[in-house]
């Protein structure tokens, strides 16, 4: 049985900053946009490239019929070039379409630690301002899709920051704000996600153990290998392959 490792000391927050050194509470535009434009949109462009290639082929034929026979017409006469160029054109078009709503709807908090000020930015506008002394609480979820909630005094109001758990740097912006406001920062995003995975794994193993009548031991919560070994043994016992031990469920 392996013993649980000692808890690691939480590392200092390492948030993203603007060129002026202002901390971003929430994901930057590049952090949200990069995975989309480099992974999702190219696949979509490749799938739809035959339609763009058909349009390029029709344009090429009109050029040839009009008497044009330059280098462009010769290159576009190749079907492979039409497909590749069509995919690139669609990629650029989709990338532009995806960028516009991100720019107009992105919500982040700009935290100037030196001045002790916070600004709520929605899209291209600053919609609210506060000081560090106004912060009553600041909490958030580490998973992607999670939100942060910043409670403010004078007057009382709340700021909601979507996707604060987009990545480690986005979540560290919230941790930096917590530390500056005098709160104990939550652990880094990786530690929280690891604990969530462990908790879900423990719940799944408890359910499996209950199904076969296997007694639960607290060591299984930290040692998945020990649970799997004992679970497989109990299954062999219930299947009549192995002799039961004292306390084992009977077939």
| 215: nearest Cα among 227, 201, 200, 203 | 227
Tell me if 2 is assigned to some domain.
Answer: no
What strands lie across the sheet with 135-140, from one edge to the other? 135-140, 147-152, 157-162
With 80 as the cut, is the pLDDT of residue 14 above it? yes
pLDDT of residue 63: 84
CA distances from 68 to 55, 57, 108 (A): 18, 14, 52
Tell me if 4 is assigned to some domain.
Answer: no
With 50 as the cut, is the pLDDT of residue 77 above it? yes
Tokens of 203: 């719940």
Q: Give CA–CA dist 239/236, Å, rounded.
A: 5
Which of 167, 185, 203 is a domain's end point? 185
* Residues pairing with 110 in the sheet: 24, 119
β-pairing verdict for 157-162 and 117-122: unpaired
Report the number of secondary-structure helices (H) and strands (E) in the chain.
Answer: 7, 7
Residue pLDDT, tens place only, 211-230? 999 999 999 988 999 999 99
Residue pLDDT, tens place only, 24-75? 999 999 999 988 888 888 899 999 999 999 998 898 888 888 888 888 888 8
Tell me if 20 is assigned to some domain.
Answer: yes
Mean pLDDT, the chain, rounded, equals 89
Q: By the 8 A CB rule, do 141 and 147 touch?
A: yes
Q: By the 8 A CB rule, do 31 and 67 touch?
A: no
pTM of the model: 0.76
pLDDT of residue 3: 33
Asked whether residue 197 falls in the same domain as residue 181, the answer is no
pLDDT of residue 216: 92
Calculate helix-pair angle for 79-105, 41-65, nearest 10 degrees.
130
**231: containing domain:** 190-238
Tell me if 30 is assigned to some domain.
Answer: yes
Q: By the 8 A CB rule, do 184 and 178 touch?
A: yes
Percent of the chain at pLDDT exceeding 90 = 66
Tokens of 46: 């490749």
Q: Give CA–CA dist 120/219, Å, rounded.
A: 46
Asked whether residue 178 falls in the same domain as residue 198, the answer is no
DSSP string for 95-135:
HHHHHHHHHHH-EEEEEETTTTEEEEEETTEEEEEEEGGGE
* Residues pairing with 151 in the sheet: 137, 158
Q: Which residues have a Cβ under 8 Å from the Cβ of 207 and sit 6 or more positions away?
A: none
Asked whether residue 69 falls in the same domain as residue 119, the answer is yes
pLDDT of residue 175: 95
Tell me if 44 is assigned to some domain.
Answer: yes
With 70 as the cut, is the pLDDT of residue 22 above it? yes
pLDDT of residue 123: 92
pLDDT: is 16 or 9 the higher one?
A: 16
Tokens of 85: 């160029």
Residue 218, CA atoms < 13 Å, CB-side half-sphere: 2
* Residues pairing with 122 in the sheet: 107, 125
Residue entry with tokens 């497989």? 232
pLDDT of residue 4: 36
Which of 166, 185, 204 is a domain's end point? 185
Looking at residue 234, the DSSP 8-state letter turns out to be H
Residue pLDDT, tens place only, 85-131? 999 999 999 999 999 999 999 999 999 999 999 999 999 999 999 99
pLDDT of residue 5: 39
Asked whether residue 19 falls in the same domain as residue 141, the answer is yes
Asked whether residue 167 falls in the same domain as residue 209, the answer is no
pLDDT of residue 72: 81
pLDDT of residue 18: 92
């Amino acid at each position: 049985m392996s013993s649980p490792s000692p808890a690691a000391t939480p590392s200092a927050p390492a948030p993203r900053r603007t060129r002026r050194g202002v901390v971003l509470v929430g994901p930057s535009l590049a952090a949200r946009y990069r995975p989309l434009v480099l992974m999702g949109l190219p696949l979509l462009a490749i799938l739809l490239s035959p339609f763009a290639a058909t349009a390029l082929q029709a344009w090429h034929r009109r050029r040839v019929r009009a008497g044009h026979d330059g280098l462009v017409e010769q290159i576009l006469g190749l079907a492979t070039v039409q497909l590749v160029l069509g995919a690139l054109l669609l990629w650029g078009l989709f990338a532009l379409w995806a960028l516009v709503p991100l720019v107009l709807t992105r919500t982040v908090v700009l935290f100037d630690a030196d001045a002790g000020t916070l600004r709520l930015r929605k899209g291209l506008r600053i919609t609210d301002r506060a000081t560090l002394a106004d912060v009553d609480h600041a909490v958030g979820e580490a998973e992607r899709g999670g939100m942060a909630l910043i409670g403010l005094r004078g007057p009382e109001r709340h700021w909601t920051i979507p996707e604060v758990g987009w990545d480690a740097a986005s979540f560290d912006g919230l941790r930096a704000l917590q530390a500056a406001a005098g709160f104990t920062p939550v652990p880094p995003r990786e530690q929280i996600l690891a604990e969530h995975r462990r908790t879900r794994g423990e719940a799944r193993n408890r359910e499996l153990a209950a199904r076969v009548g296997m007694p639960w031991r607290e060591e299984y919560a930290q040692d998945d290998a020990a649970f799997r070994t004992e679970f497989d043994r109990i299954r062999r016992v219930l299947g009549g392959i192995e002799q039961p031990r004292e306390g084992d469920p009977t077939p």
